[in-house]
Structure 1
């Protein structure tokens, strides 16, 4: 299985390591507009062929699939070119920067009959799969309330480096550099975490966004710091539950944490994923009367990287799909509209 890596920034190193560890997968080429970064990346990962554009790589064409790790704003054009060439694609999240582009990518991929997958990386957490199975089994009963959060603290601490001095962080705070803030950056992760883990969909919601002052004049060099830092969403779910979803980069004391809590009339489940570890806790059966929570061990699951390779080998669809990611992007677009209109919007 021959794989091309499109984009050689920080996240591309993770892709290269994870794909190279899968038996039978060969990293045959890489693409980047920065020749120095490209050369450094290829040397680090033993990649023989380097290309300055996706068009140049496609003219060569000696590969089966592409993992697209370009910046968000480049996903649409580069992925559409790969689809037109009949190449399987795993694209980093978000699929696109708006729903119309995400839908166009989805429809093009489905028409071409290629494997089209989005790297919603928290699908690699076994506990979220176990929580979903528990919900679907009916052991929680009728789900009434759902809570989900994505908490980061990199605007508060230097645990991830000093964001004031690094362009890899500053662009995430600037609309002019292609960022839709925390909503666009990690919002898609927590929306997938909650809808997949709770085995449901979002039917309607309201959303509020907030951008906090971070520097004099809200500017550092060329970066105007106007992208949202926090969001809070209230939602009605397809299973009849009511819930809250929120995310922030100002969550002091939380390096990188995702939480999901699903409450039914017969039991409850909680998933906590941090940069250190993951756990699933349940309150079931007689424990409901005493409020006793127990940690449950879960089995490992295939990673997104393994699922993508297996899907290519079998030439069959897999999840998380382009269509699923496009629906999440539609919710994100509607969340921005909800903030602008200051009212509830219908999703379903």
Structure 2
């Protein structure tokens, strides 16, 4: 009986340690503050993570955010390397320029520090390949965050497509963008690199083209496209003299097309999607509002998607990945596999726009 009691106590101890490990806060560092999406983690990091350090050389910018969000300037460091050495984060979230993503992974991966970058994955396909190699070599999670990943409407559309409710896919049209970053009043630090062809890799084609590439790849179950054709314009060269502000990307698949409309010229902000099959359509108009027509003889119905997502923000997902409490499916919206295809599409789109020719993707 005493042996049984000892075994029971040991089981309870191990089980409690495991639960504590699963429920503990994950130590997270922030690399850069110039991307305005950083307000999400600073304003509402959730209970799953603890922000232990920030790497930002712009002390004036860091001071403004410290005053706004109440963090101490004692946790702000000039470099990612110094921040990692001093604070020992388990994961780092990148909120600087897209060009800086590679440097963040180069600093983190050899130390076993996981990385989440804000969309898109990289500034170029070349950078993305180097990041993938480092992540795989050092066995870290490397995920990409998109606002639209957390839209219940998109997930409901994905489920409907998986159940064949509109039949075989024929066309997916994704609209993303707004009136323009300067027009909507983004902060100077963000605008400076967002309109730089080196630091952002382009203008609207990179800033908003990535959303459509991500969603279309997801709905196509991770299939690589046959070809990519893109047209970019500078409708407002007096405002954006160095980068495009208008982009349309056509992505060809066997039996269907994807159309990505990325713009800094919409009359209003939008992130919506139209999915057409041989027997109907599904429109995700925003985060929850949907319209659908299932069958040629039916009428269009309005629908509000229920928020039943397991994860509602990237930080909870990141924490569970670090703790080993979850795994990403290969084609997940945040996954490296999906976002490497996104980078192939964007890379081909940039080349197509420059040459005026369709770019064919080599089969692997």
| Cα distance in structure 2, aligned partners of 1:30 and 1:229 | 31
Change (3 A) 1:198 1:294: farther
1:207: which partner in 2? 230
Distance in 1 between residues matched to 2:325 and 2:132, nearest whole Å:
17
Describe the shift of the 1:178–1:248 C-alpha distance in structure 2 as closer, same or farther (beyond 3 A): closer
> RMSD value over aligned CA atoms?
2.4
CA distance in 2, matches of 1:185, 1:122: 13
Q: Which structure: larger Rg?
A: 2
Aligned to 1:28: 52
Unaligned runs of 5+ in 2: 1-25
Q: Structure 1 residues 174 and 91 mapped into 2: Cα distance closer, same or farther (>3 Å)?
A: closer
C-alpha distance 241-59 of structure 1, shift in aligned 2 (>3 A): same
What is the aligned partner in structure 2 of residue 85 from structure 1?
111
Corresponding position: 1:8 with 2:33: yes
Aligned to 1:221: none
* Structure 1 residues 248 and 116: CA distance shift in structure 2, 3 A: same
Alpha-carbon contact 2:217-2:341 (below 8 Å) kept:
no
**TM-score between both structures, scaled by the size of structure 2:** 0.82
Q: SS in structure 2 opposite 1:251?
A: coil
CA-CA distance at 1:329 after TM superposition: 1.2
Give yes or no for contact 1:30–1:50 (8 Å, CA) kept in 2.
yes
Map of 1:230 onto structure 2: 246
Pair 1:100–1:36, CA change in 2 (3 A): same
1:32-80 deviations in whole A, cap 9, x for unaligned?
0112222443452435522111121122242211111111111111221
In structure 2, the partner of 1:67 is 93
Matches within 5 A, 1:241-256: 241-252=256-267, 254=268, 256=269
CA distance in 2, matches of 1:107, 1:336: 23
Q: CA deviation at 1:199?
A: 4.4
Alignment of 1:102-251 (within 5 A): 102-154=128-180, 158=183, 160-161=184-185, 166=188, 168-169=190-191, 171-175=193-197, 178-197=200-219, 199=221, 201=223, 202-215=225-238, 225-237=241-253, 240-251=255-266
Sort the Cα spacing of 1:226 and 1:39 in 2 relative to 1 into closer, same or farther, 3 A. Answer: closer
User: How far did 1:18 drift?
Assistant: 3.2
Please point out which of 322, 327, 346 is paired with 1:332.
346
**How far apart are residue 317 of structure 1 and its match?**
4.5
Q: Is the 8 A contact 1:172 1:227 kept in 2?
A: no
Taking structure 1 as the reference length, what is the TM-score of the superposition? Answer: 0.85
